[in-house]
Amino acid sequence: MSTLQRIRARLVTPDAVYGLILFSALIGAVDDEQSEALEVLFVAGASLVIFWGAHVFAGTVAAHGAERRFGEAFRHAVGHSMGMLYAAVLPALVLLLGVFHVLTADDAVTTALLVATGILGVLGYNAFAQRRSPVVIRILGGIGTALFGLLMIVLNILVH
């Protein structure tokens, strides 16, 4: 397995896609006109870590009961779910630009959500590229993935 394939295997996972959508929805749910970028980053980040912890707990309990010793089940669950945290890195870096006043808080939030949507588009494009689809299908797949992710983000924001 090449280095690129190993990186892809760690970063392009269902957990990463879920984490990206969840983190984006949390950003949108926390943000209001009075929110500072640090508050948005802290609440969304802390909430994501709590969800990640619950995910690790669930994976540990399920694997321990079915097939693994506790320590092995825990390590597997942590490794398997790290994509949830990795996915938040780029949008979180954008929010840091708001924390350090490189961007306004509103611009940082908007840009972070756009970055997350763009990442979803890239993941969709990549999925179709791996299947060796024609370029037009790859582009349409990327756009569709980004739009579906955006829909999930908006629905999560509306619910919260």
The Cα–Cα gap between 59 and 61 comes to 6
Residue 7 has pLDDT above 90, yes or no: no
What's the pLDDT at 135? 95
Give ∠ CA 112-151-22 in degrees, rounded to 5.
Answer: 55
The Cα–Cα gap between 48 and 67 comes to 28
81-113 pLDDT, tens digit each: 998 999 899 999 999 999 999 999 889 998 999
What are the structure tokens assigned to 37, written together?
A: 């970028």
Residue 41 has pLDDT above 90, yes or no: yes
Backbone torsions φ then ψ of 35, nearest 5 degrees: -70, 140
The Cα–Cα gap between 103 and 139 comes to 30
Residue 138 has pLDDT above 80, yes or no: yes
Range of weakest confidence among 22-26, 28-32, 51-55, 123-127:
28-32
Mean pLDDT of 8-19: 80
Model-level pTM?
0.85
**pLDDT grade for 160, boundaries at 50, 70 and 90:** low
45 or 7, higher pLDDT: 45
Residue 17 has pLDDT above 90, yes or no: no
116 or 153, higher pLDDT: 116
What are the structure tokens assigned to 56, written together?
A: 């690790």
Query: Beta-carbon neighbour count of residue 12 at 10 Å?
Result: 17
Give yes or no for a contact between 24 and 135, defined as CB atoms under 8 angstroms apart: no
